[in-house]
Amino acid sequence: MREIARGPEGLRRELFRETARKMGIHEAIVEKDFWVCAILEVLFSSSEWKTKFVFKGGTSLSKAYGLIERFSEDIDLILDWRELGFLNDEPWKPESNTQKDRFVKDMNPITTSYLRESFVPSFQRELTNCLGPLVQAESHDDGVRIRYPGIFANPAILSWILLEIGPLAGWTPQEKKTITPYAYRYFSAKFKNPSSSVTVITAERTFWEKATIL
């Protein structure tokens, strides 16, 4: 994926356009799916953060398991809370609802500060090295936004990918899964390294969590 990300714009334009035509969807969807996969590839294969995050949520059910047909504009990630200075079991220590609410309230600004001061500068260097200088990471209240060099526009699709990152979730059960972009399905010869191995929460756990929310 990196050779395409860093390659000429014309290559991506043709690749995304032809993939969209074959799939019957808008080019901007194919384009964003490519960048979602490329960002996950950098995060879980070469960055110093590859052992500190786990991929979860609806996007993981689609990209890692192929269990749902869903185009998602965000990437849900669990951050190892030990990176924030907490012990192995500390987030689970508060027993009353009041204690838990206070703990979550205290942890949110700590997480935001950590992402802004530690994660974003470091990950930006990885993105620049692997995908090129036009891929930019920005810290926001809702998470980390990754802006990519978009070619196709669609008013219904945001011009960035949101990394929704939080530490208050269990890390198990997890496993390694392979993800590939839509474009690879139809133009595999264009890719030198089309897939990426990511650490992901198992589908059973994700379905269970979503069911308990309903």
Question: Averaged in consecutive runs of 10 residues, what is the pLDDT profile of the chain (214 residues)?
Answer: 96 98 97 97 92 93 88 89 77 64 80 95 97 97 95 94 89 92 95 90 83 58
41 Cβ contact list (under 8 Å, min separation 6): 1, 2, 130, 179, 196
Q: What is the pLDDT of residue 14?
A: 98
Residue 80 contacts residue 53 (beta carbons within 8 Å): yes
Structural contact between residues 122 and 34, judged by C-beta atoms closer than 8 angstroms:
no
CA–CA distance, 189 with 157 (Å, rounded to integer): 28
Tell me how far apart the alpha carbons of residues 11 and 182 are, in angstroms, rounded to a whole number: 15
pLDDT of residue 45: 92
Q: Measured between alpha carbons, how far is residue 170 from residues 3, 106, 112, 174 in Å?
A: 35, 19, 19, 10
In degrees and rounded to multiples of 5, residue 147 shows phi and psi of -90, 135
The confidence score (pLDDT) of residue 92 equals 59
| pLDDT at site 193 | 85
pLDDT at 211: 62
d(CA 204, CA 196): 21
Residue 69: predicted pLDDT: 80
> Are 57 and 77 contacting, i.e. CB atoms less than 8 angstroms apart?
no
Residue-level pLDDT at 96: 65
Q: What pLDDT, on the 0 to 100 scale, is given for residue 88?
A: 65
Domain boundaries defined on the chain: 1-212
Predicted TM-score (pTM) of this structure: 0.91
The answer to whether the CB of 106 falls within 8 A of the CB of 100 is no
